[in-house]
Structure 1
Amino acid sequence: MLTAPTAPILLFDSGVGGLTVLGELRAVLPQAPVIYAADIAGLPYGAKSEAEVAARVSGLLGRMAERWQPRLICIACNTASTIALGMVRDVLETPIVGTVPAIKPGAALTRSGVFGLLGTEATIRQRYVDDLEARFAGGSRLIRHGANALVPLAEAKLRGERVDRAAVARAVEGLTTHADGAAIDTVILACTHFPLLREELQEAFGPRVTLIDGAQGIARRIAFLTQGQDFERAAPDFAVTTGDVPDFARLAGAFADYGISNLRNF
């Protein structure tokens, strides 16, 4: 089936963490029309049950796919992907790219054999993560820590508010004060919000720890799946929220940095 040149790529996240993916996507496919969807009304995903997240994500993406007929959907959220990716792929014909923890590159990068996984509480407990660890982390030790508190800190930073660096440090103490924490030399940022706090996280972990995330890999995957397709913008890219539009507008400056100036309600 031919894809219309104006068909958008839909980037979906619980909030604005997916902007880290959008930034990498702009680098490889600057000509691609994009709709960014933020389920602000559903925040925080990391504190919800698996059933709640699966039902919400599949329901929203079904409605969004029907409305905008995207050529591809990227679930730019680790929590949503590790829980709902299979379900969404079962119910939608649209190609779906998920966001999963970068355990394979993390295992390849560690030299001490001990590396950390920093995600939401919902992400780190998923069987999907267990399977990735079993497949790729053999011979190394993966220490997981749920840091839900980092999500609102990242969102606040995008609104131009001052980041409480002490709060960032407290949020990652599960890794830094772990019995084997001193041996950790690599930390996987398994939430798309977390790279927004890269500077603060690097300070908390120290200069000898390497921070990695999967945004570049996701963008490359999208580019691969849309290879050979034509792209044309019929209108400027825009972002939608399931939440309050005036509150969403406080993020206008952050979205403008990624080429989106039109913010609206879903």
Structure 2
Amino acid sequence: MDPAAPILLFDSGVGGLTVLAELRKLLPQAPVIYAADTAGLPYGEKTEAEIAARVAGLLGRLGERYRPRLITIACNTASTIALGMVRDVLHVPIVGTVPAIKPAATLTQTGSIGLLGTAATIRQGYVDRLEAEFANGKRLIRHAAPELVEAAEIMLRGGSPDGSVFVAAAQGLRAQPGGEEIDTVVLACTHFPLVEGELSDAFGPGVTFVHGAEGIARRIEFLTRGQGFEREVPDLALFTGDAAQFSQLTEALGRYGLERTESI
């Protein structure tokens, strides 16, 4: 393995930075390329066919160009839809992102678990299977909150999103049968941990939030254990879409160690 070969993190936007933050703790010397399909955002409102074709096409191009040692799809929506397809066509280890239902089921005391995700994520059969395997006997209450994706993007750009979106997300879970008993909430989108503080205020005390960023980082570390790392150039952020809009993220990306930006 070329020690300069990067780990490629892919997301529809900036949500995957939550995974990158955890990865830095475990593998601080690993070269990283972060790819954001900002032109395709939001994924959660697209059809499964659109998402699968877009993700497979972009990762194919990025794999050929940058020769990563491992690819992480740091997006719940893209993973639940396109992970199997991508693994079939790309000859490189691929780590996906799935809703953290298993740890949530071990944490809940009331047996009522909330799940916030995009519309595309919460309707997937993959989530049904996770619920059946790990939350059998518990109540999993789902709510689509795509507006939280935009709120996270706004906040990372230094803006102030409308606070009502956080209240609406909490009420969307609380208003359902058993919702008042929710004590654990799965953040089933990598964008959502960026607004965890705002969600905590909206839900009130006594609610624990769980997401998969730490587990994904541990999986990457396990799969690359024993490999050498050498960062020959500063880490790179790639993006699709409007370059001017992405330039607003320069300061935030720098805080995550991404010192260069380019368009795909």
Q: Secondary structure at the match of 2:248?
A: helix
Q: Secondary structure at the match of 1:192?
A: coil
- Structure 2: distance between partners of 1:44 and 1:224: 31
1:12 shift after superposition:
0.1
The answer to whether the Cα contact below 8 Å between 1:245 and 1:263 also exists between their aligned partners in 2 is no
The answer to whether the Cα contact below 8 Å between 1:54 and 1:80 also exists between their aligned partners in 2 is yes
1:154 match: 152
1:167 shift after superposition:
2.1
1:245 shift after superposition:
1.4
The one-letter code of the counterpart of 1:117 is L
1:187 match: 185
1:172 shift after superposition:
3.4
2:82 match: 84
Q: Does 1:210 align with 2:208?
A: yes
2:60 match: 62
Matches within 5 A, 1:123-162: 123-162=121-160
Q: Secondary structure at the match of 1:24?
A: helix
* CA offset digits 1:77-126 (Å, max 9, x no partner): 00000000000000001100000000100111111011111100100000
1:233 match: 231
Q: Secondary structure at the match of 1:174?
A: helix
Matches within 5 A, 1:103-142: 103-142=101-140
2:167 match: 169
1:249 match: 247
* CA offset digits 1:127-165 (Å, max 9, x no partner): 111111110001111011111111001000000001322
Q: What are the ranges of 5 or more consecutive residues in structure 2 without an aligned counterpart?
A: none
- Structure 1: distance between partners of 2:249 and 2:169: 23
- Structure 2: distance between partners of 1:149 and 1:259: 27
Q: Secondary structure at the match of 1:144?
A: strand
* CA offset digits 1:14-71 (Å, max 9, x no partner): 0000000000000000000000000001011000000000000000000000000000
Q: What are the ranges of 5 or more consecutive residues in structure 1 without an aligned counterpart?
A: none
Q: Does 1:39 align with 2:37?
A: yes
The one-letter code of the counterpart of 2:114 is G
- Structure 1: distance between partners of 2:118 and 2:171: 14
Give structure 1 regions of 4+ aligned residues with deviation exceeding 3 angstroms: none
RMSD: 0.8
Alignment: residue pair count: 264
Deviates more, 1:166-175 or 1:54-63: 166-175
The one-letter code of the counterpart of 2:92 is T
1:176 shift after superposition:
2.2
Matches within 5 A, 1:217-228: 217-228=215-226
Deviates more, 1:160-169 or 1:136-145: 160-169
- Structure 1: distance between partners of 2:43 and 2:170: 19
The one-letter code of the counterpart of 1:255 is L
- TM score, norm. by length of structure 1: 0.98
